[in-house]
């Protein structure tokens, strides 16, 4: 089996992003985006999804975090898409719950080749650390678009915004791990139409 890895870079007038991903890793990570809370969430994604992940990003944070968050999410989505290749033999559809103290989140996803995202969460405050809560939603939408997956995420309840976001990313990590696993009983593409990439 070929290594399920990807190395994707993105450079614009606003940001520079470099991501290395190994789907069959051990949860090792090196993440530097210049946005502390984003680093924390991506670390959760790698650790609990058992992905080896390196993220190096710099951007126009003197303006605001929007461009950096969006471009990191897009590049990460492209890395998942590239590492999955034709998506031969993968489980494809998976879901997971994750708690974080008083908060509980649920994520369901499908590497269908059809990008779509529905994210339901209510934030108490405008910022989590220095990161607007609205950008967490936008990051997940951008990831789904670039990864070409259908992603549904919902925080069922909670009080602390940090806990809500962390539960959401942990649920995403567990669902991604399950959906990208290779199914031993399957050798072909898990679709009756014979493709998940066109």
> At CB < 8 A and 24+ separation, what contacts does 92-97 make?
92/179, 92/190, 92/191, 92/196, 93/179, 94/175, 94/176, 94/177, 94/178, 94/179, 95/175, 95/178, 96/171, 96/172, 96/173, 96/174, 96/175, 96/178, 97/171
What is the per-residue pLDDT for 138?
Answer: 98
What is the per-residue pLDDT for 195?
Answer: 76
Map out the domains of the chain as residue ranges. Answer: 5-180
Between CA 48 and CA 57, with CA 9 as vertex, the angle to 5 degrees is 65
Q: What is the pTM of this model?
A: 0.95
The 10s digit of each residue's pLDDT in 42-72 is 999 999 999 999 999 999 999 999 999 999 9
147-174 average pLDDT score: 99
The terminus-to-terminus CA distance of the chain in angstroms comes to 23
Fold of 5-180: Ribosomal Protein S5; domain 2 (3.30.230)
Region class of 4: left (phi > 0), else alpha (psi between -120 and 50), else beta: beta
pLDDT above 70 for 192: no
The 10s digit of each residue's pLDDT in 105-146 is 999 999 999 999 999 999 999 999 999 999 999 999 999 999
């Amino acid at each position: 089996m070929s290594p399920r890895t990807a190395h994707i870079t993105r450079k614009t007038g606003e940001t520079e992003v470099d991501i290395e991903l190994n789907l069959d890793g051990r949860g090792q990570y090196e993440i530097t985006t210049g946005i502390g809370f984003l680093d924390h969430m991506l670390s959760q994604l790698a650790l609990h999804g058992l992905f080896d992940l390196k993220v190096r990003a710099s951007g126009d944070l003197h303006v605001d975090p929007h461009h950096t968050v969006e471009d990191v999410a897009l590049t990460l989505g492209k890395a998942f898409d590239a590492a999955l290749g034709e998506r031969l033999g993968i489980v494809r559809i998976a879901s997971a719950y994750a708690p974080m103290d008083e908060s509980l989140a649920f994520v369901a996803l499908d590497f269908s080749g059809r990008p779509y995202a529905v994210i339901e969460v209510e934030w108490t405050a405008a910022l989590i650390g220095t990161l607007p809560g609205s950008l967490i939603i936008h990051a997940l939408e951008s990831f789904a678009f670039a990864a070409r997956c259908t992603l549904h995420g919902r925080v069922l309840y909670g009080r602390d915004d940090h806990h809500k976001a962390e539960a959401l990313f942990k649920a995403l990590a567990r669902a991604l791990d399950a959906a990208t696993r290779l199914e031993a009983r399957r050798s072909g593409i898990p679709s009756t139409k014979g493709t998940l990439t066109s």
